[in-house]
Structure 1
């Protein structure tokens, strides 16, 4: 690897810091959150997350969670009121890329970015990689919003942008052999070509996005993963000529080494 992947490191650090500063996330470690924490979290997400109906119709709801708690006819709950802030739906796509709903959501995304991001940043360069990451995230969010234009549920996570990184890796390094843990009675470490590993991942996301094979497809934006992956492939395609040989593998769970000494 010729370049130190400063953008990859910065993105990982930023995602972790934002997660730690997100209201109510402390409860995701201990397994429980108070009503007040949940109300603060809901208000925070409505402010900074991307909401499909806001992206498509460019219209804020008249009532949003305020972050306060109260008691109504149905019992204790979160208070709603007119929004006290001016929200830009377009900018919310960017802020939503740094929000995650749980430690598992965060660490899963950061693991993929850590493993695959450095080679793509090395091939593209720092600035182009950052622009590529953002464009993939925006493409994933807007196509998902178009398909769910009436949804008022917050859309959060870096999954769409990171799926773009995986798509670019498949285009640029399809023959790179990577270690994976395959469950077969026990977890067996196998060294497989990237086109098999990432191809299977993409296939599963495509199946899940159709609602097949999962009981709660609506809780994960699988369509955003599919769109981000395809966007990454298309954007990386012009870089295929002149791309150096695939990286050498290192470690388990998609571990590999781009060049000796990395």
Structure 2
């Protein structure tokens, strides 16, 4: 049986966070609904990022957007807040998947618009539902609400990550071209 106190030590407590909690909180969830909704969207957007950029880029993107979302949440939210969940990283992967798929092909634009609208609505519904059902964290205090700061900052970190990586020339084996290289127009 897992010791719940040990798991709760991985949550991001804003009043006095340990350095590792900025990462570990992205792997912890308030309840089953919270976990399953994040896993569903992680599967969708993770798969898109992995198909376009590879598995290493997927993991790196998840970690950087998750840490970035938690860092911004810690800076902005009150000190009595507790952050937990992968939603910031999921929103980051959503932004990355949209940006690497973007092109002026009308089918791609339509795909992004439809997928984007669907995803934003579903992620927000799932986050609100998991908040309503969630139990207590510490001392009987229930979760106060959805961390929209983490959602927005995770997406923003994803945008910044794509922008930064689009500025870095990459070396590929002969014949291989990444999506970002094609987007930069360096290789046709």
- TM-score, length-scaled by structure 2: 0.66
Structure 1 residues 165, 219: closer, same or farther in 2, change over 3 A?
Answer: same
- Of 224, 227, 239, the residue aligned with 2:153 is 227
The aligned counterpart of 1:3 is none
SS in 2 for 1:117: helix
Q: Which has the higher contact order (CA 8 A, sep 6+)?
A: 2
The aligned counterpart of 2:67 is 138
Structure 1 residues 226, 142: closer, same or farther in 2, change over 3 A?
Answer: same
Mapped to 1, the partners of 2:74 and 2:60 lie a distance apart of: 21
Higher strand share: 1
Q: Structure 1: where are the runs of 5+ without partners?
A: 1-20, 24-39, 56-88, 179-191, 207-214, 244-262
The aligned counterpart of 2:84 is 156
Deviations, residues 230-262 of structure 1 (Å, cap 9, x unaligned): 21122124254416xxxxxxxxxxxxxxxxxxx
Mapped to 2, the partners of 1:146 and 1:121 lie a distance apart of: 30
- TM-score, length-scaled by structure 1: 0.49
How far residue 133 of structure 1 moved from its aligned partner, in angstroms, is 0.9
Mapped to 1, the partners of 2:122 and 2:32 lie a distance apart of: 22
Listed as ranges, the matches of 1:190-209 within 5 Å are: 193-198=111-116, 202=120
How many residues were matched structurally? 151
SS in 2 for 1:193: helix
Mapped to 2, the partners of 1:103 and 1:199 lie a distance apart of: 25
- Of 106, 120, 126, the residue aligned with 2:35 is 106
Listed as ranges, the matches of 1:61-210 within 5 Å are: 89-151=18-80, 153-174=81-102, 193-198=111-116, 202=120
Larger radius of gyration: 1
SS in 2 for 1:100: coil
SS in 1 for 2:182: coil
Is the CA contact (8 Å cut-off) linking 2:37 and 2:123 kept in structure 1?
no
How far residue 99 of structure 1 moved from its aligned partner, in angstroms, is 0.8
Mapped to 2, the partners of 1:177 and 1:115 lie a distance apart of: 19
Q: Structure 2: where are the runs of 5+ without partners?
A: 125-131, 133-142, 167-178, 184-188
Mapped to 1, the partners of 2:26 and 2:118 lie a distance apart of: 24
How far residue 53 of structure 1 moved from its aligned partner, in angstroms, is 2.0
Higher helix share: 2
